[in-house]
Amino acid sequence: MKPIETIMRTAPVIPVLVIEDVAHAVPVARALVAGGLRVLEVTLRTPVALDVIRAMRSVEGAIVGAGTVTDPATLKASIDAGAEFIVSPGLTERLGAAAVSSGIPYLPGVANAGDIMRGLDLGLTHFKFFPAMTSGGLPALKALAAPFHQCQFCPTGGITLDNAPEWLGFGPVLCVGGSWVVGKGAPDVLAIEAAARAAAALA
């Protein structure tokens, strides 16, 4: 398996994390790992995101990546911070080429056939289908997956505990991305661990 596929197969849900306070990083990561979700996507949507990645890397068992990577500069900053994989909301040739040349496991966002073909040109076969629900939902992904049978996906955007099983029941879907596992604000570690257990049980 490719390294990104190994990461995608680690757990059925990748928590999509928006962490506002570095002090929350380690407790959140510990609770997620304890609940069975080891792959953590830290979105670069806050000023402390890179520091959060560094902090979470100290948690045993956690596989910490950077999300919302949109250009080569943030790609490099994420790698320098210790990110073990990269997720982007879309795919440009410039970012894709930089990610591929870096050698880091990379999951670019796609929403249509042109995006997927751009990825295939770069040698990529694993994609984040984003935003999943507003891009046509599961029927749209099924339609896209038919001509691109060599590709596998992580739908993200509008995925919930309730609808995740339907997505995960579709063969080309290896995992889903979800922001429901961790709420905003000060972390309730018991609630996070419980939510992680429920998500991990979707396997």
User: Measuring CA to CA, how many Å separate 121 from each of 40, 114, 115, 199, 200?
Assistant: 28, 11, 10, 34, 33
Contacts of 40 (CB under 8 A, 6+ apart): 14, 15, 17, 29, 32, 56, 62, 63, 64, 65
Other beta carbons less than 10 A from residue 189's beta carbon: 16
- For 150, the token pair is 């060599």
**H/E/C letters for each residue in 96-152?**
HHHHHHHCCCEEEEECCHHHHHHHHHCCCCEEEECCCCCCCHHHHHHHHHCCCCCCE
Two structure tokens written together for 27? 């407790």
Question: Which residues are designated catalytic?
Answer: 41, 128
